Amino acid sequence: MAAQGALERKQDGRQVAQKMRARMENGYWIHYPPIGYRYETIKGRGKVLVPHQPFADMVREAFEGYASGRFQTQAEIKRFFESLPEFPRNNRGVITQQRVTDMLTHPIYTGYICSERYSIHWLKGQHEALISLETFEKVQ
């Protein structure tokens, strides 16, 4: 019975992994939603990322400010986020520099998805973009 249970768990795990990969290949983000997005269930499409206000506007302002030169460094963006009391913080109540760096290098904000785990690079996503591809490229 133990061997049968182990086999079923292994098969279930494989099936879940296949379904997750297929969902990513269809342009749907399957991981935790990044700041500025939230999941919304849409009939016929399942859970889809949609802009989460007011955070989406904050993220957009940070990207556009950095691309235009309003913010000269990532540290200035961090201070900008810290000046916004409603901006999400970690469990210690701080905004880390790593979070800012991760946000500024994450292509999901352009409407595309990338995943090293599933070998997916710049696939058009099923979600709305918060910034243009040109803005993202300037930030990089």
Number of domains in the chain: 1
Give me the pLDDT at residue 118, please: 86
Determine the average pLDDT of the residues in 102-111. Answer: 94
Is the omega angle on the peptide bond into residue 54 within 30 degrees of 0, that is, cis? Answer: yes
Percent with pLDDT over 70 in the chain: 100
> What is the pLDDT averaged over residues 73-83?
94
**Pairing verdict, β 46-51 and 112-115:** unpaired
Give the sign of the dihedral formed by CA 109, CA 113, CA 115, CA 119: negative
Domain with 64, as residue range(s), is 2-139
Look at residue 115 and tell me whether its pLDDT is greater than 90.
no
Query: What pLDDT is recorded for position 117?
Result: 86
Whether the pLDDT of residue 79 is over 90: the answer is yes
Average pLDDT over residues 111-130: 91
Segment 88-92 mean pLDDT? 92
65-86 burial code (b ≥16 CB/10 A, e <16): bbbeeebeebeebbebbeeeee
Tens digits of per-residue pLDDT, 122-132? 999 999 999 99
CATH number at residue 18: 3.90.1750.20
